Amino acid sequence: MLKNQVKGPMKGLNQFIVDLRNSKDQEEELKKISHEVNNIRSKMQSFSSLNGSQRKKYICKLIYVYILGNPDLVDFGFRESKELLVSSNYGEKKLGYLAVSILLNSQEFGKRPLFTAKEHLNHALTEIHEYLVQDLQSQDDEVNCLAIQMIATCFTTSDVIIQNTDKNAFKWMEIIDMVYASLTSPINKPVVKQKAAIALKSLLQIYPDVLVKNNNWTPRILKVIEESKDFSVVLSSIGLLNLILQQSPDKVRSVIPSVAQRLYSIVVENQCPPQYYYYDTPAPWLVVKLFQFVEHFFLAYRDLKTKALAGEFVDIETLNKLRQCVSKSIKVASHNVKGLPNRNSQSSILFQAVSLAVFLEASPEAINGASNALLMLISTSDTNTRYLALDALIKLIGRLDSSNLSSPEAFKDNLPLFTKLLHEKDISIRRKALDLLYTLCDGSNFTLVLNELLEYFPHADLNMKSELSVKIAVLAENFATDSTWYVSTILKLLSIGGGSNANGSSFIDKEIWERIVQIIVNNDDLQKKACKIIINLIKKPFSSAPANIVSSESLIKVAAFILGEFGEQVGDIEDLSIEVQFRLLYTAYFGVSLATRALLLTSFLKILVKNPDLTFVPDIIDLFEAESQSIDLEIQTRAYEYLKLSTMHSDFRLAKNVVRGIPAFNQKENPFLSRLGVVSKQPGLSRSLSAVMAKNIKSRPEDTANGNGSSSIKKTLTRNWYSGYHRMLHFDAGIFYEDQLVKLTYRIVKNNAMLCIKFTIINLAYKAVGRNITGFNVHDVESFAKEQNPTYTIHIKLRPQADFSDKTQMDVDVSIRGIVENGEDPIMSLNFMCGGSFNQLHLKVPVSLLKTISPTPLNSGADFERRWTQIGLHLGAEGESSLVVNLAHRHDEAALERSLTRIGFAVIPNYNSDPYAEERKITRGAGIVHTAKTNYGVLIKIESLNVTDKDFTFTVRCTGGGVAPVIMHTLQEIFVGRY
């Protein structure tokens, strides 16, 4: 047996290590190593004659030299290490596996470089395959464990996929077969199964086709896990469960009840072997891993079945047990626990329970308990615990539709704690506290949150200011109650946002101040108020910082635009006179960048032209003259031109003709104006990290780009948009759009003239790279229907979640009010963040009159022909549209009937009075299209023109004049396509 192992210490090895450590310098150490390596080389020439102790000593010395960082000196020993693998002595065999795993890349067999991980794995398998097979077949459990440990150690990678056609595929399959047998064997000890589960997970990760070819493996693996009473086997198997879950969620569904039962017995009933207690907590690692597995299952299964409720794919009993486990975990974590180890274990369980609670439709009491427990942990002194508690709280609030912490009373009670965290020493805590306030903000507390963030901004860390400014701008836009409040809030932000980071970039995104200028210019009632606010903020910035702070450059840019254009509206107020405005801008001129100076020069020219008789006009002329000698070409050019305009005529005739007021912004000049609208209180909209979008501010009436209310600039549609557009025309459910990050599926629910398009936005990036989608926002649904008496209306009934890792829902209601003309389809514009990148989608949504059709069964073919004739007599050519089409694929009569039925027509069978119907292959259909105003009967004939069943004449007749061509165009799009 293998129990006869040498138990005494290897004195030669110990002495060698001591000698190396006592070396005076590296040169002496290298000399000793070289001497010893040469000695080992000479001894290994007769390796088989050495006794077991000497073999182990020399191999250990080689390993030590290798791991010291001298691989070039160890160009031998691998063959001798493999000889130890066949030893009957356990100690020698154990050392042999260790040496082989370390010396696998030695120069002896590495004649040529191994460039890829796959080549390395195949090479390693070739070298030790026979030894692994021999030891896996052994009846000794300890020998089995050595081989399995070697597999788990050397064959673990996520970058290699073995194919069935690979040269070594049969060897891989043999090893996997044997490891699988070790896991599922009823006679093996738990320690063997524990190691086999880990090794099998590594092997299946690099050879995933094995599970596909062996359908009966998964049930047996799950059975082992379900029936195992050893906690270590279950804990080791969770990685294998997650791997199977990734490949096929349906296959692991059966194990969820047993997982729930095991959790219930540990958490609720406290049934746990004494050796698995960690202080006073029963098996915390196992509980956390099982909670995590159940959460992953819900995420994967919801993605597979496109269902949101856990109860729809888990039985009630299992769901109740999981709820009790989560509730008990939250309750236990809510109590004060003595000892740091106890607190850490309870906190880890709490964090995972909170993540799972949302998927279980937990009760409000359980959610409130979780919130309170997390708040308690936030108050602890340990930084790591506070960070994780904040992260869990943000996740909990973000996944719920509402939270007790968002209520006015609870928010006011906890606001001091949240604001205190903004001033923590650790920047990671400060960032999480900012994210928490941002997530908690809603329609009831946005004023408190924004005021707090504005007060905090001057004291914020330089690395946080840019993100903080964006968050303030987004919250102000999302929860704006009126345009004046919105403008004043953003101007306050600009007034305290002076300065720049280490890269020279301003803390304030330029889109923010540019948007404010647009809003003020486009709203007459805001211009006077904005002038007052700007002047007062330049005099005294909204900040608790020292009074001698330099004015914000972003605010000066806005002032240059607004005061130069509208400053005279407050000129009659003594403290806000034109001279006061000029002196403020003139003082700021020498402390700002060249780009801002250029804006100020233009502002000074406008002030001069409008007020030629004021006393400060010579100062403006002098400034123009001085700057005409500037070394900056832009400043020099402007100053010279403005100087000539100011001095050419004493009455400034030329200057007055050249200088014009700022026109109202429209989409031709500024694409952001498509986001403007009427201010409305919209709590819970996008929590995007992108720059503020002032879509809530009403623009001037004259901004309408063209007669039908649509923009004169066409959006560039996203690549591959057409396949989803065509699919939605043809089918009432399917995939609307898909790329590497997101997938949009749809389902159309019809109710006469009302259509509800139910979109599901699925996060594909989460599965691929573990990235969440943040800031998902439908920032525009641009209708191309006429503004006056539109043929359809469209609005978002249910907005998608802003941040999600799995998927979110969106409902769009469409009301067909009249005859929807061709080319009136709306464009839906979406944007979101994923992995730090900003992504935009512009997708055309088909709004078609044909989508409202309902079938009209007729009693007979003769009835069809009678109605067909009646429409022809009453409406003539106005009620008919005909088209010859050539289809890409053959369509026999059955295929045409299926297509018409899918569209919504009732198919009319051929009848005897038409002797040529069968010969000509005429397919008939009847239906009614619905609008909010009236309904129209629609009849269709499709006549085959030849035996190829590719050329047809489509003829449509409708009871409404001008409707048939619209229907025909949609049918052509469905059957032929545009591209």
Give 388's DSSP letter: H
Whether residues 856 and 972 share a domain: the answer is: yes
Q: What is the pLDDT of residue 141?
A: 92
Residue 209 lies in a domain: yes
Pairing type for strands 742-751 and 754-763 reads: antiparallel
Residue 61 lies in a domain: yes
**Token representation of residue 489:** 């809030």
Q: Are 333 and 281 in contact (CB under 8 A)?
A: no
Most confident of 381-395, 735-749, 938-952: 735-749
Q: Which of 114, 133, 164 is the last residue of a domain?
A: 114
Report the range of poorest mean pLDDT among 6-20, 416-430, 570-584, 881-895.
6-20
Residues 6+ apart with CB under 8 A from 165: none
Q: What is the pLDDT of residue 920?
A: 64
Q: What is the pLDDT of residue 213?
A: 85
Q: What is the pLDDT of residue 710?
A: 40
**What percent of the chain lies above the pLDDT cut of 90?**
21
**Token representation of residue 787:** 């503004």
Q: Are 832 and 742 in contact (CB under 8 A)?
A: yes
Work out the average pLDDT over 236-244: 93
Q: How confident is the model at residue 743 (pLDDT cuts 50, 70, 90)?
A: very high
Give the Cα separation of 108 and 78 in Å (integer): 7
Residue 395 lies in a domain: no
- Angstrom CA distances, 815 to 711, 755, 830, 856, stand at 21, 6, 22, 22
Whether residues 128 and 190 share a domain: the answer is: yes
Residue 347 lies in a domain: no
Q: What is the pLDDT of residue 838?
A: 60
Whether residues 927 and 952 share a domain: the answer is: yes
Q: How confident is the model at residue 413 (pLDDT cuts 50, 70, 90)?
A: confident
pLDDT tens per residue, range 764-783: 888 777 788 876 766 567 78
Whether residues 867 and 934 share a domain: the answer is: yes
Q: What is the pLDDT of residue 674?
A: 32
**Token representation of residue 790:** 């539109």
- Taking CB atoms within 8 Å and a gap of at least 24, the contacts of 873-880 are 875/957, 875/958, 875/959, 875/961, 878/961, 878/962, 879/957, 879/958, 879/959, 879/960, 879/961, 879/963, 879/964, 880/955, 880/956, 880/957, 880/964
Q: How confident is the model at residue 206 (pLDDT cuts 50, 70, 90)?
A: very high
Whether residues 967 and 876 share a domain: the answer is: yes
Whether residues 100 and 125 share a domain: the answer is: no
**Count of other CB atoms within 10 angstroms of residue 458:** 18
Is the model's pLDDT at 507 over the cut of 60?
yes
Whether residues 829 and 854 share a domain: the answer is: no
Is the model's pLDDT at 254 over the cut of 70?
yes
**Token representation of residue 950:** 């590719």
**Token representation of residue 804:** 């999600």
Residue 744: closest CA among 712, 710, 768, 721: 721
Number of domains in the chain: 4
**Token representation of residue 796:** 């978002």
Residue written as token pair 């290699």: 160
Q: How confident is the model at residue 410 (pLDDT cuts 50, 70, 90)?
A: confident
What CATH number is attached to the domain comprising 875? Answer: 3.30.310.10
Whether residues 81 and 32 share a domain: the answer is: yes
**Token representation of residue 244:** 């199977």
Q: 3-state DSSP helix/strand/coil percent for the chain, to nearest 5?
A: 55, 10, 30
Is the model's pLDDT at 115 over the cut of 80?
no
Residue 420: closest CA among 463, 458, 378: 378
- Angstrom CA distances, 128 to 77, 102, 205, 261, 528, stand at 15, 13, 20, 42, 84
Verdict on whether the full-model pTM lies above 0.85: no
Give the Cα separation of 835 and 495 in Å (integer): 31
Residue 393 lies in a domain: no
Q: What is the pLDDT of residue 893?
A: 84
Whether residues 99 and 130 share a domain: the answer is: no
Q: What is the pLDDT of residue 242?
A: 92
Most confident of 272-286, 441-455, 546-560, 677-691: 272-286
Q: Are 344 and 283 in contact (CB under 8 A)?
A: no
Whether residues 861 and 841 share a domain: the answer is: no
**Token representation of residue 107:** 């120069």
Whether residues 730 and 802 share a domain: the answer is: yes
Residue written as token pair 């000695």: 39
Residues 6+ apart with CB under 8 A from 656: 609
Tell me which amino acid residue 318 is: T
Q: How confident is the model at residue 499 (pLDDT cuts 50, 70, 90)?
A: low
Q: How confident is the model at residue 957 (pLDDT cuts 50, 70, 90)?
A: very high
Is the model's pLDDT at 736 over the cut of 90?
yes
Q: What is the pLDDT of residue 215?
A: 73
Q: How confident is the model at residue 283 (pLDDT cuts 50, 70, 90)?
A: very high
Q: How confident is the model at residue 82 (pLDDT cuts 50, 70, 90)?
A: confident
Q: Which parts of 45-157 fold into alpha helices (H)?
A: 52-67, 78-85, 90-103, 117-136, 141-154
Q: Are 864 and 939 in contact (CB under 8 A)?
A: yes
Q: Which parts of 716-842 fold into alpha helices (H)?
A: 721-730, 764-769
Q: Are 521 and 565 in contact (CB under 8 A)?
A: yes
Work out the average pLDDT over 661-686: 43
Q: What is the pLDDT of residue 544?
A: 44
Residues 6+ apart with CB under 8 A from 78: 99, 100, 103, 104, 106, 108, 109
Q: What is the pLDDT of residue 114?
A: 52
**Token representation of residue 268:** 């609720």
Is the model's pLDDT at 750 over the cut of 60?
yes
Question: How many Å separate Cα 546 from the centre of its chain?
Answer: 41
pLDDT tens per residue, range 838-877: 677 889 999 988 989 999 888 778 888 889 999 888 888 8
Q: Are 576 and 532 in contact (CB under 8 A)?
A: yes
Phi-psi region of 949 (alpha: psi -120 to 50; beta: other; left: phi over 0): left
Query: What sign has the CA pseudo-torsion 597, 599, 602, 606?
Result: negative
Q: Which of 114, 144, 166 is the last residue of a domain?
A: 114
Terminal CA-CA length for the chain: 76
Q: Are 169 and 208 in contact (CB under 8 A)?
A: no
**Token representation of residue 795:** 């609005």
Q: For the chain, give me the number of helices (H) and strands (E)? A: 38, 16
Give the Cα separation of 383 and 683 in Å (integer): 32
Q: Are 951 and 884 in contact (CB under 8 A)?
A: yes
Give the Cα separation of 709 and 681 in Å (integer): 24
Q: What radius of gyration do the chain's Cα atoms show?
A: 38
Query: What sign has the CA pseudo-torsion 164, 165, 170, 176?
Result: negative
Q: Which of 114, 144, 173 is the last residue of a domain?
A: 114
Q: What is the pLDDT of residue 350?
A: 87
Most confident of 267-281, 320-334, 793-807: 267-281
**Token representation of residue 968:** 């025909």
Residue 572 lies in a domain: no
Work out the average pLDDT over 533-551: 66
Q: What phi and psi, each to the nearest 5 degrees, are found at residue 269?
A: -95, -5
Give the Cα separation of 831 and 687 in Å (integer): 12
pLDDT tens per residue, range 218-234: 878 888 887 788 999 99
Q: What is the pLDDT of residue 737?
A: 92
Q: What phi and psi, each to the nearest 5 degrees, are found at residue 13?
A: -65, -45
Give the Cα separation of 451 and 438 in Å (integer): 12
Give the Cα separation of 291 and 285 in Å (integer): 10
Q: What is the pLDDT of residue 779?
A: 54
Three-state DSSP class for residue 232: helix
Q: Which helix (H) or strand (E) holds 182?
A: helix 169-184
Measured in residues, the chain has a length of 979
Residue 950 lies in a domain: yes
**Token representation of residue 177:** 């077969």
Work out the average pLDDT over 161-173: 89
Binding-site sequence positions: 43, 57-61
**What is the domain extent for residue 878?**
850-976
**What percent of the chain lies above the pLDDT cut of 70?**
85
Q: Which helix (H) or strand (E) holds 234?
A: helix 231-247
Q: How confident is the model at residue 137 (pLDDT cuts 50, 70, 90)?
A: very high
Whether residues 797 and 887 share a domain: the answer is: no
Work out the average pLDDT over 607-615: 86
Q: How confident is the model at residue 265 (pLDDT cuts 50, 70, 90)?
A: very high
What CATH number is attached to the domain comprising 840? Answer: 2.60.40.1230
Q: Which parts of 457-482 fold into alpha helices (H)?
A: 462-478
Mean pLDDT, rounded, of the chain: 81
Residue 691 lies in a domain: no
Give the Cα separation of 143 and 153 in Å (integer): 16
Is the model's pLDDT at 189 over the cut of 90?
yes
